[in-house]
Amino acid sequence: MDLFLKIAVAAVMGMVVFYAWRAYQHWQEHGPKAQKGDWRAVVLPLALVVGLVVLLVAMVR
Amino acid sequence: MANTDYTIVRSTERAIATNKVLKNTYMLLSATLVFSALMAGLSMALAVPSWMYMVSVIVAMVLGIFVLPRTANSSSGVGMIFLITGLLGFGLGAILTLYLALPKGPQIIGTAFGGTGLIFLGLSGYALTSKRDFSFLGGFLFAGFMVVFIAAIANIFLAMPALSLAVSGAIILLMSGFILFDTSRIINGGETNYIMATYGLYLSIFNIFIQLLSLLGILGDE
């Protein structure tokens, strides 16, 4: 039962990867390009997320 | 003069439409999160076995890929999104039952819950108040999505703790990026269907919570 479920989950996740591939192609072709300062505007909040996760792990240890 | 009036009216109409999608999205998101939590509570009360999580995820993913997009433009789409989020919540209950049995279980669950809330509210607030359009992240996020999911599929069978940790961390970062991306698309008119917008944000929140549970469960153990 456990192996069957794992195979089923893997199969469905494989389908999701296929749809993600199609979405990737669409966004590569039609998506806007980053403007000046856009990547910095993304990296900063994600760095804060990393810091928060580290803090949460320290709280639980 | 007439052209300027027309431009102003069109801009106002667009702003009103965007605000309506935003409002409906957050209202539906709140409702689905509450429903999901209730279903998780029911699942815990019924003490469903842990394999129910996998079954719920499989059914929810199939519904999300094949059924929801077809019903998102009708009223049945609301019922469908409640069905999907209810299923995911029911499966989550089985996982929470496992964590509650751990020595620091309640602390891990509470910390993951608070952390998920902080991450979502912080990133949403940032996307709403920032003047930036984060749609440029699309290609990068979906590429990362594919890589991480392939690693996750491999780890289903390999069951390597180090890979599990890496996948959890990567998914948290990816879903954080998706919160910025999805919220930005709603604000800038890229997503006009509040049901699909809700589905995207719900999945980001759900995945961040599940992966935080996993991370804290592994790393929090001295």
**pLDDT given for residue B3 in this prediction:** 62
What is the reported pLDDT for B2?
58
CB contact under 8 A, B137 and A42: yes
pLDDT over 80 at A56, yes or no = yes
Greatest C-alpha distance within chain A: 52
The amino acid at residue B31 is A
pLDDT at A24 over 90: yes
Residue B116 neighbours by CB distance under 10 Å? 23
Q: Is the pLDDT of residue B222 over 60?
A: no
Q: Is B219–A57 a contact, with Cβ atoms under 8 angstroms apart? A: yes
Distance CA B115, CA B60 (A): 24
Please list every residue in chain B whose beta carbon sits closer than 8 Å to the beta carbon of residue A36.
none
What is the structure's pLDDT at B177?
97
Residue B214, φ and ψ in degrees, nearest 5 = -65, -50
Residue in B107, B145, B156 nearest the CB of A10: B156
Tens of pLDDT along B144-193?
Answer: 999 999 999 999 899 898 999 999 999 999 999 999 999 999 998 889 99
* CB neighbour burial string for B120-136, b if at least 16 within 10 angstroms, e if fewer: bebbbebbeebebbbbb
Distance CA(B94)–CA(B103), nearest Å, equals: 17
Chain centre to alpha carbon of residue A34: 18
The predicted structure's pLDDT at residue A35: 87
B111 CB within 8 Å of a chain A CB: yes
Q: What is the pLDDT of residue B14?
A: 76
**What average pLDDT does the segment B88-109 reach?**
93
Q: Which amino acid does the sequence have at B21?
A: V
B186 with A56: CB under 8 angstroms? no
Residues of A in contact with B137 (CB under 8 A): 42
Domain boundaries, chain A: 2-60
